[in-house]
Amino acid sequence: MGRGPVSGVFLRLFALRRRVYDHRAAASPSLFASLFAAGTLKDDTMLSASLNRIFALVLRYWYLLKDSWPRLLDIVYWPTVELLMWGFLQAYLAEKTSVTALAGGALIGSVLLWDILLRGQIGFSVSFLEEMWSRNLGNLMMTPLRMYELLAALGVMSIIRLLIGLVPVTVMAIVFFGFNLLGMGLALAAFFANLIITSWAVGLFACGIVLRNGLGAESFVWSVSFLLLPLACVYYPVTVLPAWLQPISLALPPTHVFEGMRALILENRFDVSEMLWAGGLNLVYLTAASIAFAAFLRSARRSGALLQLGE
């Protein structure tokens, strides 16, 4: 029987690593366990062993993605639809008022930056759901794989999935609307970093909810980021919100990113204070999400839910 691409890669990786394993580990019947077997390494450092396990997981998720054209289409389809819808609406309104023409770049920029947050969170969460859909999470937990290594692999995969969807729509924004996201310069790096960290925090919390409540809570993964949409002030400034909602909005990291983006496009200035606020809040939320996920994981382990994942 022929070997698939995933098993072929694992076999090649194992062949490269076999020289640093002792004979007993090399004879292990489980290739997947051998890739994760940090305790049997003789010459490698702990860091090298950890990176091997992260790399193995990223390869697993990558082959699941690249060998499925519906998955790839889904990554590109929705950002494209959203960009075209908002972009053509902006072009129509720009014909009516000069104010809309001025703010047009801010609107398209908001669409693209929002996709960083949304697709980053979904990319993180979907890779985790792949393990739950295949009933493989319990198997992973019985290997030497550490939880931070799993989360690191999810983070890497979220960036890969994000870039697959973001690069085409960035090119389309230039071709159709004359807006170059890269024209933001180094400020774009600050926007990207803060939004991707927010997406990881939200994705981590969403994964914890699904881990605790089973796949019946899967819809939370797809909808949780949209709960932030009205309060994060993606398409409008904070000042349009009611006074009592503004402090809540300013407690969210994306709000400061989008305020900073509008200041850059409309006023040609980079507001460092907004990025500092976003970075500080991201640190708080990522820490809180990590604590919550660890608590959900402990609860799932105690109840045996890792081996009984279902609706």
pLDDT of residue 102: 55
Query: Is a pLDDT exceeding 50 seen at residue 15?
Result: no
Mean pLDDT of 68-96: 87
**Three-state secondary structure string covering the chain:** CCCCHHHHHHHHHHHHHHHHECHHHHCCCCHHHHHHCHHHECCCCHHHHHHHHHHHHHHHHHHHHHCCHHHHHHHHHHHHHHHHHHHHHHHHHHCCCHHHHHHHHHHHHHHHHHHHHHHHHHHHHHHHHHHHHCCCHHHHHCCCCCHHHHHHHHHHHHHHHHHHHHHHHHHHHHHHHCCCHHHHCHHHHHHHHHHHHHHHHHHHHHHHHHHHHCHHHCHHHHHHHHHHCCCCCCCCCHHHCCCCCHHHHHCCHHHHHHHHHHHHHHHCCCCHHHHHHHHHHHHHHHHHHHHHHHHHHHHHHHHCHHHCCCC
- Model confidence at 171, pLDDT cuts 50, 70, 90, reads very high
**What average pLDDT does range 10-25 have in this prediction?**
42
Q: What is the pLDDT of residue 44?
A: 56
- Given this model, what pLDDT does residue 46 score? 80
Over residues 13-37, the mean pLDDT reads: 43
Q: What is the pLDDT of residue 142?
A: 82
Percent of residues, the chain, with pLDDT higher than 90:
49
pLDDT higher for 16 or 302?
302
Q: How confident is the model at residue 145 (pLDDT cuts 50, 70, 90)?
A: confident
Model confidence at 295: pLDDT above 80: yes
Confidence (pLDDT) at 307: 66
Q: What is the pTM of this model?
A: 0.81
